[in-house]
Structure 1
Amino acid sequence: MAHVLHPSQMRRVSPAELESLAMYYREAIADAARKQGRETKLYLHWSAGHYGQFWDDYHVQIDRDGEIYVIADGELDDILAATYCRNSGSVSICLLGCVGATTNNLGQESPTPLQIEGMAKAVAALCNGLWLTIDKQRVLTHGEAADNEDGICPHDPYGPKSTCERWDLEYLGTMESPKYHPWAEDGGRGGDVLRGKANWYRKYWQESGGTP
């Protein structure tokens, strides 16, 4: 069962610091993933709670202002209860908010533009440190992972294309991702937008001298 953490238990980090943490834990996470017969994965969540409300089951958390936080010392190889049957050999990233979100309305604490960019930066930094390609085989929303959209099948489907038990970040409520449409192929699903932004940051940082 998830528990709320006091803000004093969290540490704010820059993308560069997050990349360094990922480099430090890369082999441990990759070894755990190999034991599952796959590569390291990143899973993108929302908390379904409030802005500024931190949780103990996500390695990396993004608040409404786009700032990036880790739990305590940022032990990315900890196995946390974030993504059903997929927690070993993975890192969980959570956007704080979306309490009361529905497939028609993301509510009063919907993803902010700064949060969306913060999550994309976190993905880019982690993938740099973990030596991962940013694609759907390695970086998935919880909804995509729930439906086994990466081609592995550690569980029965329970995402937006099946039971809809979990559909985190299926849409972002922005012009790029305005509505719930799990079968969209136009790049407007939340995961597509976030991966696209993360790849943009990765390329921009490479061309501008490094991760900030």
Structure 2
Amino acid sequence: MSAILPPSAMRRVTCAELRELAAAYRVPLMYAAARCARETKVYLHWTAGHYGQFFADYHVQIDADGGIYVIGAGVLDEVLAATYLRNSGSVSIALLAACGATTDDLGAEPPTAAQIESMAMAVTALADGLWLTIDRERVMTHGEAADNEDGVRAHAPYGPRTTCERWDLEYLGMAESPVFNPWAQDGSRGGDVLRGKAQYYREHGVL
């Protein structure tokens, strides 16, 4: 079971501060990823817990109001237990949401609109600081990573296209991503929506 952190262990940051943190850890993350024969990655999660409930497994956490938090000083190259066999050389972002979510119903605490936009902005900030292209090879949901959709065969698949053990953010419960469909090609999968929003923020210099 993941360790729950008190709010006092967290520090709220702006996107500009998150970009600066990412830049500060660009080189150590790059070397850690290279030792695993891959590029630096950003993995997107939900906690499957409650709004306002922070966990020790994720570098960046986003609450229901869209507030972005890091653990303590924001040490982004610390290896946390976020993404099975993929944690070295990666940064994890998680929405504090989705307690009781199923592939048919995201439950009483689904991702909020504010969380979704903040996650996209956080992706942009991290990608800018880490010098990453915003694409599926470098920015993935845990569900996509679980099924090795980037071609990195880090483990047997366990995502939404196979065992469905992990399917974080496969759908978002909004008009752009209304239902669980891991085979969709129309851009409605949660990862596609989040990367699209992040790319929009990058191209329009919103942050």
2:46 corresponds to: 46
Q: What CA distance in whole angstroms lies between the structure 2 residues aligned with 1:56 and 1:29? A: 19
2:202 corresponds to: 202
The one-letter amino acid paired with 1:35 is R
Shift of 1:23: 0.2
1:33 corresponds to: 33
1:58 corresponds to: 58
1:10 corresponds to: 10
Q: What does 1:92-171 align with in structure 2 at a 5 Å threshold?
A: 92-171=92-171
Q: What CA distance in whole angstroms lies between the structure 1 residues aligned with 2:25 and 2:111? A: 29
The one-letter amino acid paired with 2:104 is N
Q: What CA distance in whole angstroms lies between the structure 1 residues aligned with 2:16 and 2:200? A: 16
The runs of 4+ residues in structure 1 deviating greater than 6 Å are: none
Which secondary structure state, in structure 2, belongs to the residue aligned with residue 127 of structure 1?
Answer: helix
The one-letter amino acid paired with 1:62 is I
Q: What CA distance in whole angstroms lies between the structure 2 residues aligned with 1:158 and 1:42? A: 19
1:138-181 alpha-carbon deviations (Å, 9 max, x no partner): 00000000000001101000000000000000000000000000
1:114-134 alpha-carbon deviations (Å, 9 max, x no partner): 000000000000000000000
Q: What CA distance in whole angstroms lies between the structure 1 residues aligned with 2:5 and 2:69? A: 12
Structure 2: tracts of 5 or more residues without a match: none
Q: What CA distance in whole angstroms lies between the structure 1 residues aligned with 2:154 and 2:57? A: 20
Which secondary structure state, in structure 2, belongs to the residue aligned with residue 86 of structure 1?
Answer: coil
Identity percentage of aligned residues = 66
Q: What CA distance in whole angstroms lies between the structure 1 residues aligned with 2:201 and 2:42? A: 17
Shift of 1:2: 1.3
Q: What CA distance in whole angstroms lies between the structure 2 residues aligned with 1:204 and 1:15? A: 15
Q: What CA distance in whole angstroms lies between the structure 2 residues aligned with 1:65 and 1:118? A: 9
Q: What CA distance in whole angstroms lies between the structure 2 residues aligned with 1:12 and 1:100? A: 26
Structure 1: tracts of 5 or more residues without a match: none
Question: RMSD in angstroms over aligned alpha carbons?
Answer: 0.7
Shift of 1:193: 0.1
1:193 corresponds to: 193
Using the size of structure 1 for normalisation, the TM-score is 0.97
Q: What CA distance in whole angstroms lies between the structure 2 residues aligned with 1:203 and 1:126? A: 15
2:174 corresponds to: 174
